[in-house]
Amino acid sequence: MARLLIAETFQVSIKLLCNGHVAFGLFCSALALSTAHAQTVQPASGEQKPERAPYKKVVGAHKNEVRSSSANVEQIMATARRTRSEQTVNHTQLQRILPGINPVKALEILPGVVFENADPWGNNEQNSSLYIHGFNQNQLGFTLDGVPLGDQSYGNYNGLSPQRAAISENIGSATVATGAGALGTASTSNLGGSLEFTTQDPLHKAGGQISQTFGSWSTFRTFARVDTGDFGHNNSAYVSWARQDARAWDFAGHQGGNQVNAKFVHDGSHDKITTFFDWSDKVEPNEDGIVEPSGGSMYVRPFLYPNLNEAVNYYKNAANIAGNNYRNYYSDAQREDFLAYTKWTHDFSAHLHWTNQIYYHHDMGEGVVAGPISAAGLPTLFGAYFPNASSSDLSNVFGGSGMATRTTEYWDNRGGLMSTLRYEVGHHHIELGGWYERNNNTQARRWYAFDINNPTTPYDRQQNPLIHQYTNYFYTNTWTTHLQDSWQITRNFMLNAGFKSELVYTNGTLPVAALPGSLSPKTAETIPGGRIAAVRPFLPSFGALWNFTPHEQWFANIQENMRSFQDTGYGNASPWGMTSQQAFENFKKNGKPETSWTYETGLRTNRNVKLGPLTHISGQLEYYHVHFSNRLLAVASSAYNSNVSYIIGSSTILTNVGSVSTDGMDFSFTAQFGPHFSFYNALSYNKSVYNDDYFSGTTQVHTAGKNVVGLPDWTEKFVASTNWGNFYGQFIGDVIGRRYTTYTNDLSVKSYALFSINAGYTIKGIPHVQGLKVQGNITNLTNTRAWSTLSTSQASGQYTAYPMAPRMFFLTVGASF
């Protein structure tokens, strides 16, 4: 009942906002989905957010609910009223930051979120990094409309990135739970929070949208969508297409591809059926990072492609490829994905609801590097497969160019189903749910000739390998269940308790093994592997929510989580990445999966004020503590050579290196100054430290008390907005503090401030056109030179950093019909 009461309160506020201000028309339509999703007071911290409001009722708002009565507030982000911290960026704000943006990048304006990428859209997956409250992207949970997206590893094995799962323009909202995700989140990697992306439903009125973006570095992005409107008995659908092509800013490669989405919804009186389809085909030439300290003033390390003659001559000079910062000819990520799901929600009554969902995902991918055959430990590899070949012979074997092409090839077939039953009885809201997934994935390392007379490009799929170095097959069965009860003790106070069971069983096999002596060091070997389980039948969660005034709220949440082992092979932080079968068997017997306890509490406010020009204020202050146990690290088993970068991998041992403690605070607020101006600000402090030293071989690495690498202590974000009728504008700032780059904290990168602006105008009154929208964006406004993503190092004295994309200009013209 409390949930329905507060939902109605917020809906009334939104209606006042939309009816009273034409300028908010686009905002209101985009907010329609995210308000039901994020602004409703929910009775349980772990409750799956209902996608529909069955048996709609008109209920008066209770006087003690936290609510906004302002009719003039355009929200940059929405704060969910839950026992955990959860905030949402809506569709309108996503596309204002930059049309076509990766929705994860749009979340970087939220407190506690640190996202880095060398691409202005945030699309480049190789050099993408995300940290939330001390955890990186592989330790968070990701879903799209409830479908699991995996742990976001660049080496695909159990999912796909959000921007490949749905077209950016079709994302209705992006939500992040910074502390701990809902118990029903379909993820086995969320030691920390979770990120949930929701696609827009079809419109009830037939129509279409088309937009075109032009910009710096030959950017050309097209988006088109056709909605059927309502047809038959409560049916609606849309189909959309997007194509992006943009030149990489530091070399002559083009990034982009094609993507298609289709969605069908049947919304009956007691049943809602949703079907969604996504096809994505992208080719993404990668940036190359700078190994620091570089001994010079290197800021970019561009590829030599498409200048083949320059590359051949460059590789003839041994001095050019003696160090870590030699230049490859090209590198790219090729990914083709098919994703589909069907979801059915049935309302047995006003108090009993049942949701079922089935999904399937198929991925075919390659990570490709074309470079010199004499660099990065390759003579060791080629010497094993061609033991009698001289350097000149090897050059001829690989096509006479002095180059070879390495691929890591991925095939991923996974499918699953989820079922959730929700029952409201008395003052209790009970939820019981389960998730099963079967994932069959393959990862293969192969080497191909680079023919001087028939050179390949970053956009070609490789054919006829010379060397099948190794191939791993993984078969994983995942079972999770959760049960929780939310007890509305009084109108203003609620408690919830529940637990999650997580059982993950993986069988890793090696049908193709590397030849003896082909790996680095020569004593390393790929292993046959075997079966390992990651099982925790009881992961508890407790929460409380108290509306102690009509406009203020206190929340608290405690939750335990587990991360299952990654299904990856040689050179990775995985049991199957061990370089001896004995080490694998020992880990199988004694190894433990990573776990965490998250504690979070905070205050929220949302009220109208009369303080001069200030008319409305909303905000949240949160404190959190995390204890992360059994941290697993792939520790080098041999002496580290800082002068050599091995692209063939190196021998590692998966090691439990102790625990990490995190304490932090997030403070965010939105101040509204009358109907035309608002200011959003998010200030965060995070202190994450290693609690233990560990050994690399016989060398003790002194990390106890050191800061976790890649994480700034302080971040500051803001968005200053103005709206005047059909015109809007925003000035956005993102300040990232100093980040340590080595586990021993002997090296760091300095802080930076990044700014961007956007402005748009909607032209009305054109016959047969609902609106013609023109928007301009400038990213990296001050052309700041700084390091974005960091590839941190266990060793002292070295790390790899990727440059910040320079200032870029974009113009988008779009029309709706």
Is residue 793 assigned to a domain? no
Asked if pLDDT for residue 168 goes beyond 70, the answer is yes
SS3 label, residue 726: coil
Is residue 788 assigned to a domain? no
pLDDT band, residue 462 (cuts 50/70/90): very high
Asked if pLDDT for residue 56 goes beyond 50, the answer is no
**Once rounded to an integer, what is the mean pLDDT over residues 768-781?**
96
Q: Return the higher-pLDDT residue of 355 and 634.
A: 355
Report which DSSP code applies to 576. Answer: G
Using left for φ > 0, alpha for ψ between -120 and 50, and beta otherwise, residue 80 falls in beta
Rounded to whole angstroms, the Cα distance separating 498 from 540 reads 6
Rounded to whole angstroms, the Cα distance separating 122 from 161 reads 11
Q: List 279's β-bridge partners, or say none.
A: 260, 338
**Once rounded to an integer, what is the mean pLDDT over residues 629-651?**
67
Cβ(417)–Cβ(357) below 8 Å: yes
Closest CA to 711 of 151, 232, 134: 134
Structure-token pair, residue 760:
């748009």
Residue 716: predicted pLDDT: 98
Torsion angle in degrees (nearest 10) through CA of 24, 27, 30, 33:
-80
Q: Return the higher-pLDDT residue of 37 and 518.
A: 518
Using left for φ > 0, alpha for ψ between -120 and 50, and beta otherwise, residue 22 falls in alpha
Closest CA to 113 of 752, 686, 626, 562: 686
Q: What are the phi and psi torsion angles at 790 (to 5°)?
A: -120, 130
Closest CA to 628 of 134, 69, 24: 134
Rounded to whole angstroms, the Cα distance separating 409 from 471 reads 9
E strand or H helix at 563, and its extent?
strand 552-563
In tens, the pLDDT along 543-556 reads 999 999 999 999 99
pLDDT band, residue 50 (cuts 50/70/90): very low
pLDDT above 70: percentage of residues in the chain: 89
* Stated pTM of the model: 0.90
Beta strand 428-451 with 467-488 is antiparallel
Amino acid at 179: G
Residue 74: predicted pLDDT: 57
Residue 392: predicted pLDDT: 83
SS3 label, residue 580: coil
Rounded to whole angstroms, the Cα distance separating 730 from 94 reads 12
Cα 677 vs. chain centroid, distance in angstroms? 31
User: What is the number of structural domains in the chain?
Assistant: 1
Torsion angle in degrees (nearest 10) through CA of 560, 108, 367, 574:
-20
Structure-token pair, residue 703:
């990390």
Cβ(192)–Cβ(132) below 8 Å: yes
Cβ(142)–Cβ(195) below 8 Å: yes
Asked if pLDDT for residue 65 goes beyond 80, the answer is no
Cβ(622)–Cβ(85) below 8 Å: yes
Residue 649: predicted pLDDT: 56
Rounded to whole angstroms, the Cα distance separating 667 from 672 reads 17
Residue 560: predicted pLDDT: 98
pLDDT band, residue 692 (cuts 50/70/90): very high
Q: Find the range with the poorest average confidence among 39-48, 85-94, 95-104.
A: 39-48
Cβ(715)–Cβ(700) below 8 Å: no
Structure-token pair, residue 97:
């930051």
In tens, the pLDDT along 361-384 reads 999 999 999 999 998 789 889 999
Is residue 791 assigned to a domain? no
Amino acid at 545: L
The overall average pLDDT reported for the chain is 89
Asked if pLDDT for residue 61 goes beyond 80, the answer is no
Asked if pLDDT for residue 114 goes beyond 50, the answer is yes
Residue 638: predicted pLDDT: 58
Structure-token pair, residue 7:
């939902």
Residue 817: predicted pLDDT: 94
Structure-token pair, residue 141:
């949970």
Residue 648: predicted pLDDT: 57
**Once rounded to an integer, what is the mean pLDDT over residues 472-476?**
97
Is residue 786 assigned to a domain? no
Q: What are the phi and psi torsion angles at 397 (to 5°)?
A: -60, -40
Residue 125: predicted pLDDT: 93
Report which DSSP code applies to 793. Answer: B
Closest CA to 576 of 674, 500, 501, 653: 653
Instruction: Look up the CATH number of the domain holding residue 524.
Output: 2.40.170.20
SS3 label, residue 344: strand
In tens, the pLDDT along 258-300 reads 999 999 999 999 999 999 999 999 999 888 899 999 877 789 9
Amino acid at 299: Y
**Once rounded to an integer, what is the mean pLDDT over residues 573-588?**
92
Domain encompassing residue 694:
2-781+798-816
Rounded to whole angstroms, the Cα distance separating 529 from 513 reads 11
Rounded to whole angstroms, the Cα distance separating 173 from 196 reads 8
DSSP string, 138-202: GGSEEEETTEE-TT--SS-SS---HHHHS-GGGEEEEEEESS---TT---S--SS-EEEEEEPPP
Residue 652: predicted pLDDT: 77
Q: Find the range with the poorest average confidence among 514-528, 553-567, 708-722, 735-749.
A: 514-528
Closest CA to 687 of 662, 716, 660: 662
Rounded to whole angstroms, the Cα distance separating 799 from 547 reads 48
Strand arrangement, sheet containing 86-90: 78-79, 86-90, 171-177, 194-199, 141-144, 147-148
Asked if pLDDT for residue 410 goes beyond 90, the answer is yes
**Once rounded to an integer, what is the mean pLDDT over residues 137-165?**
96
Cβ(689)–Cβ(703) below 8 Å: no
pLDDT band, residue 17 (cuts 50/70/90): very low
Residue 650: predicted pLDDT: 59
Rounded (5°) CA angle 238-244-245: 165
Q: Which residue has the tokens 């001289």?
A: 390
